[in-house]
């Protein structure tokens, strides 16, 4: 089944403790992206990657890092999480062609205390 898989689904951590949220897709998509979703707001892009070893900042990149060493994986790294990073995070991928939709994972609920 074609899918985007994120882990973990739920994560509670403390301020300053480094964490990684993994994302993997099995559709051979070149493009991958991370979003955060907060109540009453639309999805906001954190980082994206057009292909292996190519990453770029989205609209809200502060406090986050990403890497793209393999085509299928795109982990999101929070080196020193803060409470304002408490949010619902989604990984997404799409084909690298014009006008192709994003396919989303099921989300990671992160709480930073």
Partner 1 sequence: GESVGLHLPTLSVQEGDNSIINCAYSNSASDYFIWYKQESGKGPQFIIDIRSNMDKRQGQRVTVLLNKTVKHLSLQIAATQPGDSAVYFCAEGDSWGKFQFGAGTQVVVTP
Residue 52 in the binding site for partner 1 (CB under 8 A): no
Among 31, 34, 47, 64, binds partner 1 (CB under 8 A): 31
CB of 37 to partner 1, least distance (A): 6
Q: Between residue 53 and residue 82, which ones bind partner 1 under the rule CB under 8 A?
A: none
Among 40, 62, 69, 113, binds partner 1 (CB under 8 A): 40
> What would the DSSP string read from start to end of the chain?
---EEEE-SEEEE-TT--EEEEEEESS--SEEEEEEE-TTS--EEEEEEEETTEEEE-S--TT-EE--SSSSB--EEESS--GGG-EEEEEEEE-SSTT---EE---EEEEE-
């Amino acid at each position: 089944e074609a899918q985007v898989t994120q882990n973990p689904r739920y994560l509670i951590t403390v301020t300053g403790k480094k964490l990684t949220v993994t994302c993997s897709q099995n559709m051979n998509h070149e493009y991958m992206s991370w979003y955060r979703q907060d109540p009453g707001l639309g999805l906001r892009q954190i980082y994206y990657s057009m292909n292996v070893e190519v990453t770029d900042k989205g609209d809200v990149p502060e406090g986050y890092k990403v890497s793209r060493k393999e085509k299928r994986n795109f982990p999101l790294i929070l080196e020193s999480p803060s409470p304002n990073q408490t949010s619902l995070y989604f990984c997404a991928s799409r084909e690298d062609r014009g006008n192709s939709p994003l396919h989303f994972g099921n989300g990671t609920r992160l709480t930073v205390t």
